A and B are shown apart, each in its own frame.
Chain A
Amino acid sequence: MTANGAIAAAIPPAAPAVAPAGPHPYDHLLRREALPHIWCPGCGIGTALGALVYGFEQAAVPREKRVVVSGIGCSSRVVFYIRTDAYHTTHGRAIPFATGLKLSNPGLNVVVFAGDGDLFAIGGNHFIHAARRNMDLLVVCINNFNYGMTGGQGGPTTPPGALSTTTPYGNAEFPFNLPDLAAAAGATYVARWTTLDVRRLRTTFAEVLGRHGFRFVEVLAPCPVSFGKTNKIGSGAEEMEYYRGLEVLKSRVESKEVAATDIVLGKPIVVGTFVDRARETFRDRYVRVVAKARGAGP
Chain B
Amino acid sequence: MTEVQNLILAPVWDHVRTGINFLSGDHACAEGAVYAGCRFFAGYPITPATEIAEHLSERLPELGGQYIQMEDEIASMAAILGASAAGAKSMTATSGPGFSLMMENLGLGYMMEVPTVVVNVQRGGPSTGLPTTVGQQDMMQARFGTHGDFTSIALSPQSPQEAFDLTVHSFNVAERLRTPVLLMMDEVVGHMHERVVIPPPGELPLVGRPKPTVPPEEYRPYRPGPDLVPPMASAGEGYSVLFTGLTHDETGRAVTTYEGQKALVPRLREKILRNREVYERVGLYRTEDATTLVVAYGITARSARRAVDLGRSKGLAVGLFRPITVWPFPAERLTSHRNVARIVVAEVNLGQVSLEVERIAGAYADVVHVGSAGGNVLAPETILEACTSPPEARP
> Are A and B part of the same complex?
yes
User: Could you tell me if B78 and A107 are in contact, using CB atoms closer than 8 angstroms?
Assistant: no
A residues less than 8 Å from B203 (CB atoms): none
CA distance A85 to B237 in the complex (A): 9
A-facing residues in B140-172 (Cβ within 8 Å): none
B residues less than 8 Å from A263 (CB atoms): none
User: Could you tell me if A100 and B90 are in contact, using CB atoms closer than 8 angstroms?
Assistant: yes
User: Could you tell me if A96 and B4 are in contact, using CB atoms closer than 8 angstroms?
Assistant: no
Out of B83, B242, B252, which one reaches A101, CB within 8 Å?
B83
User: Could you tell me if A99 and B79 are in contact, using CB atoms closer than 8 angstroms?
Assistant: yes
* Interface bits B57-90 vs A (CB < 8 Å: 1, else 0): 0100110101010111011101111111111101
B-facing residues in A265-282 (Cβ within 8 Å): none
B residues less than 8 Å from A95 (CB atoms): 75
B240 to chain A, nearest CB (A): 5
User: Could you tell me if A83 and B235 are in contact, using CB atoms closer than 8 angstroms?
Assistant: no
B-facing residues in A47-104 (Cβ within 8 Å): 63-65, 67, 69, 79-80, 83-90, 93, 95-104
Tell me the nearest residue of chain A to B111, going by C-beta: A90
CA distance A83 to B66 in the complex (A): 28
A250 to chain B, nearest CB (A): 28
User: Could you tell me if A104 and B254 are in contact, using CB atoms closer than 8 angstroms?
Assistant: no
User: Could you tell me if A294 and B236 are in contact, using CB atoms closer than 8 angstroms?
Assistant: no
Known interface pairs A80-B254, A93-B75, A290-B61; A100-B82 also in contact (CB < 8 Å): yes
B residues less than 8 Å from A79 (CB atoms): 242, 244
Judge if A289 is at the interface, Cβ distance under 8 Å.
yes
User: Could you tell me if A126 and B7 are in contact, using CB atoms closer than 8 angstroms?
Assistant: no
Judge if B6 is at the interface, Cβ distance under 8 Å.
yes
User: Could you tell me if A67 and B242 are in contact, using CB atoms closer than 8 angstroms?
Assistant: no
Judge if A253 is at the interface, Cβ distance under 8 Å.
no
CA distance A63 to B239 in the complex (A): 10
Judge if A286 is at the interface, Cβ distance under 8 Å.
yes
User: Could you tell me if A80 and B242 are in contact, using CB atoms closer than 8 angstroms?
Assistant: yes
A residues less than 8 Å from B107 (CB atoms): 90
CA distance A186 to B234 in the complex (A): 30
A182 to chain B, nearest CB (A): 16
User: Could you tell me if B74 and A96 are in contact, using CB atoms closer than 8 angstroms?
Assistant: yes
User: Could you tell me if A105 and B254 are in contact, using CB atoms closer than 8 angstroms?
Assistant: no
B residues less than 8 Å from A88 (CB atoms): 242-246, 254
B-facing residues in A248-298 (Cβ within 8 Å): 283-284, 286-287, 289-290, 292-294
CA distance A289 to B87 in the complex (A): 22
User: Could you tell me if B108 and A89 are in contact, using CB atoms closer than 8 angstroms?
Assistant: yes
A121 to chain B, nearest CB (A): 14
A-facing residues in B68-127 (Cβ within 8 Å): 68, 70-72, 74-76, 78-88, 90, 104-105, 107-108, 112
Tell me the nearest residue of chain B to A92, going by C-beta: B74
Tell me the nearest residue of chain A to B68, going by C-beta: A103
Tell me the nearest residue of chain B to A282, going by C-beta: B68
Known interface pairs A65-B236, A90-B245, A125-B71; A104-B8 also in contact (CB < 8 Å): yes
CA distance A283 to B245 in the complex (A): 29
User: Could you tell me if B71 and A129 are in contact, using CB atoms closer than 8 angstroms?
Assistant: yes
User: Could you tell me if A104 and B240 are in contact, using CB atoms closer than 8 angstroms?
Assistant: no
User: Could you tell me if B243 and A101 are in contact, using CB atoms closer than 8 angstroms?
Assistant: no
Range of interface residues on B (Cβ < 8 Å): 35 or more
Judge if B19 is at the interface, Cβ distance under 8 Å.
no
Judge if B40 is at the interface, Cβ distance under 8 Å.
yes
B133 to chain A, nearest CB (A): 30
User: Could you tell me if A108 and B235 are in contact, using CB atoms closer than 8 angstroms?
Assistant: yes
Tell me the nearest residue of chain A to B70, going by C-beta: A96
User: Could you tell me if A84 and B104 are in contact, using CB atoms closer than 8 angstroms?
Assistant: no
Judge if B238 is at the interface, Cβ distance under 8 Å.
yes
Tell me the nearest residue of chain A to B8, going by C-beta: A104
Judge if A6 is at the interface, Cβ distance under 8 Å.
no
B-facing residues in A137-183 (Cβ within 8 Å): none
Judge if A1 is at the interface, Cβ distance under 8 Å.
no
Judge if A244 is at the interface, Cβ distance under 8 Å.
no
B residues less than 8 Å from A101 (CB atoms): 82-83, 85-86, 235
Residue of A34, A87, A125 most packed against chain B (CB within 10 A): A87
User: Could you tell me if B6 and A100 are in contact, using CB atoms closer than 8 angstroms?
Assistant: no
Judge if B333 is at the interface, Cβ distance under 8 Å.
no
Out of A85, A99, A283, A286, which one reaches B235, CB within 8 Å?
A85
B257 to chain A, nearest CB (A): 15
Judge if A192 is at the interface, Cβ distance under 8 Å.
no
B198 to chain A, nearest CB (A): 20
User: Could you tell me if B7 and A290 are in contact, using CB atoms closer than 8 angstroms?
Assistant: yes
B residues less than 8 Å from A86 (CB atoms): 240-243, 252
B residues less than 8 Å from A93 (CB atoms): 74-75, 78, 104-105, 108
A181 to chain B, nearest CB (A): 15
Judge if A212 is at the interface, Cβ distance under 8 Å.
yes
Out of A83, A87, A105, which one reaches B8, CB within 8 Å?
A105
B contact residues vs A (CB 8 Å cutoff): 1, 3-9, 39-40, 42, 58, 61-62, 64, 66, 68, 70-72, 74-76, 78-88, 90, 104-105, 107-108, 112, 234-246, 252-254
List 17 additional A-B contacts (Cβ < 8 Å) besides A64-B236, A99-B42, A101-B85. Answer: A63-B240, A80-B244, A87-B85, A87-B244, A89-B81, A89-B108, A96-B75, A100-B79, A101-B83, A104-B88, A105-B9, A106-B6, A126-B74, A126-B78, A283-B4, A284-B4, A290-B61
- Sample of 20 A–B contacts (CB below 8 Å): A87-B112, A88-B243, A88-B244, A89-B81, A90-B105, A90-B245, A93-B104, A96-B71, A96-B78, A97-B79, A99-B79, A100-B83, A103-B79, A104-B40, A104-B83, A105-B6, A105-B87, A106-B4, A125-B71, A286-B66
Instruction: Give the 10 A-B CB pairs with smallest separation, nearest first.
Output: A100-B82, A100-B79, A293-B61, A96-B75, A101-B82, A100-B83, A96-B78, A88-B244, A104-B86, A97-B82
A contact residues vs B (CB 8 Å cutoff): 31, 34, 63-65, 67, 69, 79-80, 83-90, 93, 95-108, 125-126, 129, 212, 283-284, 286-287, 289-290, 292-294
